[in-house]
Amino acid sequence: MKCERLRVLIRDWYHEVRNFTLSPIKMKELVEKHIKNCEVCQTDEDLPLELDQLWEIIRVPYLPNKSEEFKFKIEENEYLYEDENLEEEEF
């Protein structure tokens, strides 16, 4: 990581994440915002790899794109819980 400013920011933000005062997602957004405005970070070829390693450490959850659709299919007459010992009650 060539940008000293980013190093300091990441260290500070990481401590906030560890203290639960900053979410990992927000930290990721702040890092990306810094990179967007920093010429040193934009020319750093190793930065993407280092950031990937950082995200593994803080375990940023996967956020699906808004275009992705989640489809859940439950067929009719399909039970999520089935008990073979269940007897029918007579009324």
For 32-73, how does the pLDDT look when each residue is reduced to its tens digit (9 = 90+)? 999 999 999 999 999 999 999 988 888 755 566 655 555 555
CA–CA gap between residue 29 and residue 79 (Å, rounded): 42
Considering only CA atoms, give the Rg of the chain. 23
Domain range list for the chain: 4-58
Whether residue 16 has pLDDT greater than 60: yes
- pTM across the whole model: 0.60
Confidence at residue 80, expressed as pLDDT on a 0 to 100 scale: 55
CA–CA gap between residue 30 and residue 41 (Å, rounded): 13
Helical segments of the chain, H only: 4-18, 24-37, 39-43, 47-58
Q: Which two tokens stand for residue 70?
A: 């989640």
Confidence at residue 45, expressed as pLDDT on a 0 to 100 scale: 93
Sign of CA dihedral 49, 51, 54, 58: negative
**Whole-number mean pLDDT of the chain?**
79
